[in-house]
Amino acid sequence: MAADQPPWWTRAVVYQVYPRSFMDSDGDGIGDLGGVLLRLDHLADLGVDVVWLSPVYPSPQADNGYDISDYQDIDPLFGSLEQLDELITAMHARGMRLVMDLVVNHTSDQHPWFAEARSSKDSPKRDWYWWRPPRAGMAAGVPGAEPTNWQSFFSGSVWELDEASGEYYLHLFDRRQPDLNWENPHVRQAVYAMMRWWLDRGVDGFRMDVINMISKDVGEDGHLHDGPPLPGSALGDGSASYLCGPRIHEFLQEMHLEVFAGRPDAVLTVGEMPGVTVEQARLFTDPGRGEVDMVFQFEHVGLDHGTSKWDIHPLRLRDLKASFGRWQAGLAETGWNSLYWDNHDQPRAVSRFGDDSPAYRRDSATCLATLLHLHRGTPYVYQGEEIGMANFPFAALEEFRDVESLNHHVQAVSAGDDPAHVLDALRTMSRDNARTPVQWDTTPNAGFTTGTPWIGVNPDCGEWNVAAQRDDETSVLAHHRRLIALRRDDDVVALGDFTMLLPDHDDVYAFTRRLGGEALLVVCNLSRTAYRLAELLPEAPAAELVLGNLPDDDPAELRPWEARVLRLP
Ligand code: TEU
């Protein structure tokens, strides 16, 4: 990428709003667009350039809006199209851009397209989805008669039997989220038209949900292939048939031409891509290929997974460094990284990668933020991360709301797992950890709603909230503000080369960033052990401190969870 004309998003920071949990303006206990409008000053004060808004479209809410029944409207739960227009205008007036969530691997089963497809085998829209007869020689509905053995992301088979026609339809996620058939050009054109409609309305880009799953490996006769069996299960892993399938680059290039080509470069496209490799990511983000600006990769959020996300393993810092280091190197010459710890699908970063005990919560949250924002790539901050929100102390199954968590519980317990053990895994890994309401102040429900919140408010909200941190220069919030400003002001942060240092150290994460004659050294201690800095990095103690997360009193010692950004002479 030429350093003289870097795209605007190389110095941008994106903030994700999960509207249902951000701010409720009408007292129904569910966050909404009115709430986002009320809290825009918080985002402006933080200094973010872009807001990615999770889905607000009409939806039965089986997966909190990732099951869309109308792509071109707003669910009354969240507000109206007029309010969305108002939000676009208000954001643009503050110099911020709005990126919408694009969920087109699947629709809701309540979408009129699916209703029509389901109505008859002869429906002109039948082929907009994946319909298949039972496995050869087997009767519909018999266990094992599913057209393939693939396991759904949300437990069970990916196939749901439609009794009326005796055929199954494919759903990689919940049965209420049928997969669209991207092989059908009418599907693709309908999606592109919808995207153009949103851009014409003023939105500034899309975060594309599981976009590397839209191309399935289908034989000429329509055959889909079984995957390798999963240990201890009758189901198999179908991912080789739908992750970065045969036509994925073709589809994204077509989308780029049909939707984005000829428009100003002001738009941002980021593809969410579970399982994507760095080699594939380089192709997806090579500007010369016209696909997407950047992708969300999943490697670092899988390092504590065993056979599944519920089989939790301790995370080793070396593995994290090796992974990030490979991504930094792999996209150094061509392509671009997105950087994240948190989103609405992940447990809270301070609880997972940091240390959320009272003594270290603030320090580890600011340390993790420093680490992330000083990498090369576009940082994404998830709502609440900027104040160090932590996992929720879930005590009972009744406190969970997420379809993935609830489905897993049913499936695991019926397979004979110890319910207490299943609950432990949910407590650590459930997506609901990220979905508790943003903690604004010390009024009831942390200022999120005057009604009954749809999911519990974290009981730590009295101490951990936006109001308590706003004017405190030592807060997690103030530290985020400084990091965001640094990327905007410092070319080295935005564009400098990345070199990993101390790759085998168990506790310390260090690297340099260089551009022209300038160099930054970043040193982060991800542990409770103090280190003598000179013994690790002799050049560090004498270097000028640009930004640190602890009081600047002993340059020779790297304290527990200390982070320093230093300018090398
Ligand atoms: O998530 C895609 C995905 O594969 C995972 O992150 C998934 O959410 C799960 O945690 C796997 O264990 C996207 C959305 O971000 C997510 O909220 C949706 O539920 C999903 O797609 C379906 O639209």
pLDDT, tens digit (0-9, with 9 covering 90-100), for 57-96: 999 999 999 999 999 999 999 999 999 999 999 999 999 9
Residue-wise pLDDT for 325-369, tens only, equals 999 999 999 999 999 999 999 999 999 999 999 999 999 999 999
* Atom 2 of ligand 1, nearest CA residue: 210
- Joined together, the tokens standing for residue 358 give 């009272």
- Split at pLDDT 50, 70, 90, the class of 3 is very low
The per-residue pLDDT of the chain, averaged, comes to 97
> What is the Cα–Cα distance from 540 to 529, expressed in whole angstroms?
18
Give the pLDDT confidence score for residue 412 in this predicted structure. Answer: 96
Q: How far apart are CA 263 and CA 199, in angstroms?
A: 9
Q: For residue 264, name the pLDDT band (cuts at 50, 70, 90).
A: confident
Beta strand 97-102 with 205-208 is parallel
Model confidence pTM above 0.95: yes
Q: Residue 38: name the closest of 101, 80, 90, 82 by CA.
A: 90
- With vertex at residue 351, the alpha carbon angle to CA 350 and CA 354, rounded to the nearest 5 degrees, is 50
Q: Which atom of ligand 1 is nearest to the CA of 343?
A: 15
Q: What is the pLDDT of residues 439-486, one digit of tens each?
A: 999 999 999 999 999 999 999 999 999 999 999 999 999 999 999 999
CB 307 within 8 A of CB 417: no
% residues pLDDT > 70 (the chain): 99
What pLDDT, in 10s, does the model give residues 169-191? 999 999 999 999 999 999 999 99
Give the Å distance between the CA of 19 and the centre of ligand 1: 16
- Tens-place pLDDT, residues 498-526: 999 999 999 999 999 999 999 999 999 99
Q: Which residues are known catalytic residues?
A: 209, 272
What was the pLDDT predicted at 4?
A: 58
Q: How far is the CA of 537 from the centre of ligand 1 (A)?
A: 40
pLDDT of residue 265: 76
Reported as a single tens digit per residue, the pLDDT across 27-67 is: 999 999 999 999 999 999 999 999 999 999 999 999 999 99
Average pLDDT (289-310) is 97
* Shortest-distance atom of ligand 1 to CA 67: 23
pLDDT at 506: 96
pLDDT number for residue 1 = 44
Question: How far away, in angstroms, is 550 Cα from ligand 1 center?
Answer: 36
Query: By the 8 A CB rule, do 74 and 40 touch?
Result: no
Q: How far apart are CA 567 and CA 515, in angstroms?
A: 12
432 CB within 6 A, ligand 1: no
Find all residues with CB under 8 Å of 415, minimum gap 6, and list them.
none
Per-residue pLDDT band for 550 (boundaries 50, 70, 90) equals very high
Is residue 103 in contact with ligand 1, taking CB distance under 6 Å?
yes
Percent of the chain residues topping a pLDDT of 90: 97
